[in-house]
């Protein structure tokens, strides 16, 4: 018996009890009039509640029907454009889904409709329960072609909610503090847009966790499975502040296991999830520009970690038209491998990720059991599928391990990309390699 029917029966029983009480009441005309008035008001309230329950039940049936039409197997050649439903997604829909534990998915857009179409197509290829992962497209300003595309393809078909971020008239003055260039202005507007989306998703709609995507990101077939499995870990561990789909070292020749995930001190971005607890911290002093660098600041990160996969669950194709002008795309971003294997993350052993101690113990066991190698000898282990460790000196990182494996040589706020307490897991010629400093505390 459905919860909807149970609720209806309970309401009908309550009405009958009220009628019974009224029939045995004193016969005075004033009392009877009051009782009749009260009963009528109660009946009207119950009818309104019943109508709301019917509406909610119909919406859930629509969402369930959409979920059942999603492909069970990933086929990159097939785009699952979901059929139209009877109702568009509204703010009330989002609040209702948020109250049931849904993870909001915010897609940040501006004026690249072709990019958004490509991003949305990848989202629809990935199996997704729309009632668990409702889509919200947030458009910066009011570019007409983008607005028309979103309304026609995603709003009218009941696939996404559409909202607009209006530019702050003071943005130019803020950008002047960062040099006043067109690029600086772009980074100010993006930071303001992210703040707007966070406020609406967490404060107004009530989501406890939100995934942030951008119009130039594709996602993997197991993207939603990955984030659904990681949400409880994020919510339960105060040493975490995000889950990311991205691996900055995720080149084709540096990744091995589609089921592997690690903790990192580095904030990766590029398809990531945060929870309301973090927003409660940041709400009153959100970034005014360069929001991703803001997230890497020590006073924001507070020694907390992110979870990230070995093989990226997102891929950025935004070489043109973005604020960064395609920065690092050809030399770095464009070489990152997007996972193409359907992994059911609910069935994976994630025990090494549930706490900082669990991950420390995991790394300790892995590194202690690993075979020691150097950048000069590592190629001799080719095709042996061993676990190796290579010690590096941080001042010589660029000239040694970064050069050998083609890693980006920079750091942000003193943190190497994808590192965890100085440990950087990579793959090389079928081997798992842990790059580490001599300061790794558990190494004998």
Catalytically active residues are: 292
Sequence-ordered list of residues with C-beta below 8 angstroms from that of 427, at least 6 positions apart, any chain: 253, 254, 255, 256, 257, 310, 433
Question: How far, in Å, are 92, 247, 273, 312, 313 from residue 269 at the CA level?
Answer: 29, 9, 9, 11, 12
3-state SS of 14-35 is HHHHHHHHHHCCCCCHHHHHHH
Check if the beta carbon of residue 316 is closer than 8 Å to that of residue 270: yes
HSE value, Cβ hemisphere, 13 Å, CA-based, for 226:
31
Rounded distance between C-alpha atoms, residue 14 and residue 442, angstroms: 65
Closest alpha carbon to 141 in 112, 121, 118, 181 = 112
Closest alpha carbon to 245 in 221, 219, 265 = 219
Instruction: Kindly tell me the burial class for residue 39, based on how many C-beta atoms sit within 10 Å of its own C-beta (0-12, 13-18, 19 or more).
Output: middle
State how far Cα 23 lies from the chain centre: 57
HSE value, Cβ hemisphere, 13 Å, CA-based, for 17:
6
Residue 48's CB is within 10 A of a number of other CB atoms, namely 10
Check if the beta carbon of residue 326 is closer than 8 Å to that of residue 318: yes
Closest alpha carbon to 420 in 279, 239, 179, 251 = 239
Return the axis-axis angle of helices 3-23 and 29-69, rounded to nearest 10°.
170
> Tokens 């590592």 correspond to what residue?
378
* 3-state SS assignment for residue 336: strand
Residue 283's CB is within 10 A of a number of other CB atoms, namely 14
Q: Which residue intervals of 70-170 are DSSP H helices?
A: 91-99, 113-125, 144-150
Check if the beta carbon of residue 127 is closer than 8 Å to that of residue 225: yes
Positions of E strands within 114-215: 135-140, 160-165, 209-214
> What count of residues does the chain have?
444
């Amino acid at each position: 018996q459905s919860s909807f029917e149970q609720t209806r029966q309970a309401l009908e029983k309550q009405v009958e009890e009220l009628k019974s009480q009224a029939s045995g009441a004193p016969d005075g005309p004033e009392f009877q009039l009051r009782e009749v008035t009260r009963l009528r008001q109660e009946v009207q309230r119950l009818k309104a509640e019943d109508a709301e329950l019917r509406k909610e039940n119909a919406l859930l049936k629509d969402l369930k029907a959409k979920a059942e039409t999603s492909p069970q197997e990933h086929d990159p050649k097939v785009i699952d454009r979901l059929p139209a439903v009877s109702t568009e997604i509204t703010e009330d829909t989002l609040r209702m889904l948020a109250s049931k534990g849904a993870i909001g998915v915010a897609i940040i857009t501006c004026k690249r409709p072709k990019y958004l179409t490509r991003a949305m197509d990848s989202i629809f290829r990935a199996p997704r329960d729309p009632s668990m992962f409702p889509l919200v497209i947030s458009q910066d300003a009011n570019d007409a072609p983008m607005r028309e595309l979103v309304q026609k393809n995603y709003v009218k078909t009941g696939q996404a909610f559409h909202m607009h971020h209006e530019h702050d008239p003071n943005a130019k003055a803020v950008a002047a503090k960062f040099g006043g260039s067109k690029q600086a202005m772009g980074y100010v507007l993006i930071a303001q847009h992210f703040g707007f989306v966070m406020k609406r998703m967490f404060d107004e709609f009530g989501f406890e966790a939100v995934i942030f995507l951008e119009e130039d990101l594709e996602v993997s077939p197991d993207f939603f499975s990955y984030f659904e499995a990681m949400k409880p870990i994020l919510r339960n561990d105060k040493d975490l502040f995000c889950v990311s789909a991205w691996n900055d070292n995720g080149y084709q020749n540096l990744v091995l296991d589609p089921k592997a995930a690690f903790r990192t001190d580095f904030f990766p971005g590029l398809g990531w999830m945060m929870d309301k607890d973090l927003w409660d911290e940041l709400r009153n002093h959100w970034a005014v520009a360069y929001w991703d660098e803001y997230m890497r600041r020590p006073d924001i990160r507070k020694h907390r970690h992110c979870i990230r996969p070995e093989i990226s669950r997102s891929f950025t194709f935004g070489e043109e038209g973005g604020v960064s002008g395609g920065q690092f795309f050809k030399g770095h971003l464009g070489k990152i491998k997007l996972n193409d294997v359907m992994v059911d993350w609910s069935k994976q052993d994630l025990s090494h990720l549930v706490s900082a101690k669990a991950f420390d113990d995991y790394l300790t066991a892995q590194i202690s059991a690993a075979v020691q190698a150097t950048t000069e000898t590592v190629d001799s282990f080719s095709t042996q599928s061993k676990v190796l460790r290579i010690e590096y000196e941080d001042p010589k990182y660029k000239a040694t391990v970064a050069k050998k494996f083609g890693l980006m040589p920079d750091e942000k706020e003193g943190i190497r990309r994808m590192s965890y307490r100085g440990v950087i897991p990579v793959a090389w010629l079928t081997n798992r390699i842990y790059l580490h400093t001599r300061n790794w505390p558990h190494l004998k």
